[in-house]
Amino acid sequence: MPVIRTSEAVTHEIHGARFVSYATPLTGSKELCAWRGEIPAGTKAPVHTVSREEVFHLLIGELLITLDGRTERITAGDTVIVNPGATLGVENPTDQTAISWVTTSVGLEAVLADGTRLTPPWAN
């Protein structure tokens, strides 16, 4: 039975945010990836288009989520479903770090507005 301890989770930092990866093929997951996102105060992630569905659940804090051009303020306890092909922007306009939990399927890719393709290591 794969059990991933907090001390064994792999941390990645990109675009001012921290991603703590728990479920990936490297840790024994066959189909899903899951990570904790830490979005510091004042962070505005680059807008990107996702190749796989993501379930984005906010555990702590408040964020502005822009999905296909529509912006919503979400607070702790809210969940956003991001469909494949959707364009996503995440911004933390507050003075506190926001904490999220994200789940997606293995193989997620993100394409930035300039066409740069990212294959996040925490989602593969």
Residue 49 is predicted with a pLDDT of 97
Residues of the chain where predicted confidence (pLDDT) is lower than 70: none
CA distances in angstroms from 24 to 21, 70, 73, 81, listed in the order given: 7, 30, 29, 20
The answer to whether 100 touches 35, Cβ cutoff 8 Å, is: no
* pLDDT the model gives residue 124: 79
pLDDT tens, position by position, 50-81: 999 999 999 999 999 999 999 999 999 999 99
Looking at residue 114, its pLDDT comes to: 92
**What pLDDT shows up at residue 12?**
94
Three-state DSSP at 2 gives coil
For residues 66 and 83, give the distance between their C-alpha atoms in angstroms, rounded to a whole number.
Answer: 13
What global pTM score does this model have?
Answer: 0.93
